[in-house]
Amino acid sequence: MFGSATHSQAEKRTINAATTRVPGPTGAAIFVGVFAAVVSVLGSWVPSYWSDEVASLRAARLTWQELFEFTGHIDGVHVAYYCVLKVWTGVFGESELATRSLSAACIGLAAAGLVRLVFLLSTTSTAVMAGVIFAVLPRITFLGIESRSFALNIALVIWMTIALVQATELRRRRWWVLYSVLLTVAIYVFLYAALLVGAHLIYTLARGGRRVLGSWFLSVLAAVVLSTPIFLAAVHQRDQISWLSEQSAVNPWAIFGAPVFETSWLVALLAWAGLLLLVLRARVILASEERWLCLLACVWFIVPTTTLLMADAVVGPLYTGRYLAVTAPAMAILLAIAIKLWAKPLLGWTFVAVIVVATLPTYVGQREPLAKNGGSDLAQISDYVAEHSELGDAIYLEKGSGPSRPRQALYAYPRSFAGLVDIGFEQSFVATGTFSDRTASLNELPLLLTGVDRIWVVTAGGSDATANVSAHEILAASGYSVRERSATNRSLVTLYER
């Protein structure tokens, strides 16, 4: 379907380029990589941390022994990322800019890799175009300011695919070894990287035939064996994703929009219109030198999505849009091919500029103070308490549930609460084996107030929230009155004095 096994002149050029000491368009890859990293890191310090990022921070603060013991109970599938973040924060600190710059750097590495990958099967112009589109896709600009493992995983997946393409064409053992190693590391960083295996199998069979199938199989088998501990941890700790059953995760937008376009309907419409043009020119693609690149991008986009949907239907809730962010590079490649087929260079780059402009509303929205998790206000809570509290004040932060978790502010910004007495604390999250400390209930507050003249109470919701009403009644009965009060986006911060 995609042509004979004989190499065209372009393919010979690709192989020859791959054997030179400086592979590919190095300068273009570096330029696009830096561009992508800068695009991601800009404004990364503005949004408040949210609960998932707080989990990353808390894990990274543990000692090495505590970290490995703790992830034996929960979040074992993220232990590799926590190790990387622990080293990173040890050097650069825990500010939003510091932690999120790790993800931005990974996006830069991914974009540079994408340019390299596309060049192996196409031209420099197509490679650069794919890299630029990738850098501005809404899901990518979101993950570039997220202190989680997704950005690092995407970078690993792209470079893993480079190793596969080189191994399939050059048939040298070192490329198969590198492919196996990168696949193993990618699975440890984020388990869903394994979804790419099926796509790589199809590409390997189409490109290299049965002659390379044995090498591919041994490489994947070695990766699977080496990844056995992480697969076992995922099965043992599967209750961690039970929250997926509480939401309608599988819907048209979750399948065709969220994985790549996050919340941007406009960019999604432009992109799918571009892919429609690609379908209309299918015969031209099959006869062109880019048929292998198109095949790779198609299976990269389709197979992981299909596999996860099937697993979700058979095994149970496993699907959510951001778990398929690894398909974003494939979308960038397909759009670059479509633009090249339908437009001359100047017009093509004009269309890329239109895509960039279309991403701006989402991009700006991602970098607003309350952008995370629909309005995380942990920074608001912390800033207010730090500005108005006095040394020795007591504080009680409600655990909360769902997106409203005031106590997370204490873990997100511990410096803001330095010098305050956390009177509700009973047992550390390390001892409980979860990401929640054991704390006293509101009803137990009167027993903890001996010698306390000022206490800050932070509850989820407004002044009429159940927890706030209860706190007010309990403290009023103990002789306290409201001295000041401030509402943040999701919480209420109240100072009571005796």
CA nearest neighbour of 263 among 134, 135, 107, 138: 138
Question: How many CB atoms neighbour CB 14 within 10 A?
Answer: 22
Write out the residue range of the structural domain in which residue 338 sits. 9-368
Cα–Cα distance measured from residue 179 to residue 407, given in angstroms and rounded to the nearest whole number: 43
Same domain, 351 and 419: no
Give pLDDT tens digits for 262-321: 999 999 999 999 899 888 888 888 888 889 999 999 999 999 999 999 988 888 788 888
Q: Which of 351, 368, 385 is the last residue of a domain?
A: 368
Residue 1 lies in a domain: no
Residue 200 lies in a domain: yes
- Residue 492's DSSP bridge partners are 459, 487
Q: Which of 315, 344, 368 is the last residue of a domain?
A: 368
CA nearest neighbour of 420 among 377, 382, 378, 475: 382
Same domain, 405 and 440: yes
Same domain, 243 and 383: no
Same domain, 51 and 167: yes
Give the model's pLDDT for residue 8.
Answer: 43
What is the chain's Cα-based Rg? 25
Give pLDDT tens digits for 197-211: 999 999 999 998 888
Residue 297 lies in a domain: yes
Same domain, 326 and 267: yes
> How many structural domains comprise the chain?
2
Same domain, 262 and 335: yes
Question: How many CB atoms neighbour CB 160 within 10 A?
Answer: 24
Give pLDDT tens digits for 428-475: 888 888 888 899 998 999 999 999 999 999 999 887 888 889 999 999
Give the model's pLDDT for residue 10.
Answer: 43
**Mean of the pLDDT values across residues 114-143?**
97
Quickly state the pLDDT bin for 15 (edges 50, 70, 90).
very low
CA nearest neighbour of 134 among 161, 155, 162: 155
Same domain, 68 and 96: yes
Same domain, 334 and 391: no
Q: What is the value of pTM for the model shown?
A: 0.92
> Domain of 463: which CATH number?
3.40.50
Q: Which of 368, 391, 426 is the last residue of a domain?
A: 368
Same domain, 387 and 340: no
Residue 465 lies in a domain: yes
Give the model's pLDDT for residue 13.
Answer: 46
The token pair that represents 243 in the structure block: 């929250």
Same domain, 200 and 252: yes
Residue 2 lies in a domain: no
- Residue 456's DSSP bridge partners are 395, 495
CA nearest neighbour of 205 among 341, 28, 1: 1
3-state helix, strand, coil in the chain (%, to 5): 70, 5, 25
CA nearest neighbour of 215 among 230, 225, 205, 206: 205
Residue 3 lies in a domain: no
